[in-house]
């Protein structure tokens, strides 16, 4: 049995025991996934569920700096966004 198959069986046991999907998701996101993995997984699910556009925010965000409008000062340089 693969690790993924074991994980799916464990998931079924948790659900059968009454552990909610919300509790399972919170546990995995907050305790086991890296920040990058958690962000990517939740963004992908938002897209899959048609709750967010695929490219939303990407054009306006560069390394965590939002250029959605106005002036920003970064390391002494003024950036017009």
pLDDT digits (tens, 9 = 90+) for 41-53: 999 999 999 998 7
For 61-65, what is the mean pLDDT? 49
Q: Which domain holds residue 72?
A: 3-80
How many angstroms separate the CA atoms of 75 and 70, rounded? 17
How many angstroms separate the CA atoms of 81 and 63, rounded? 14
Q: Looking at the predicted structure, is the pLDDT value of residue 72 above 60?
A: no
Residue 52: phi and psi, rounded to 5, are -155, 145
Tell me what pLDDT residue 55 has.
62
For 13-33, what is the mean pLDDT? 97
User: Is 21 strand, coil or helix?
Assistant: helix
What's the structural domain count of the chain? 1
Residues ≥6 apart with Cβ < 8 Å to 54: 47
């Amino acid at each position: 049995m693969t690790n993924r198959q074991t994980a799916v069986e464990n998931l079924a046991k948790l659900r059968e025991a009454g552990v909610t999907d919300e509790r399972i998701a919170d546990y995995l996101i907050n305790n086991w996934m890296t920040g990058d993995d958690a962000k990517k997984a939740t963004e992908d699910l938002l897209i899959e569920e048609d709750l967010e556009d695929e490219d939303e925010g990407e054009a306006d965000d560069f390394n965590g700096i939002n250029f959605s409008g106005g002036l920003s000062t970064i390391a002494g340089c003024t950036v017009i966004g």
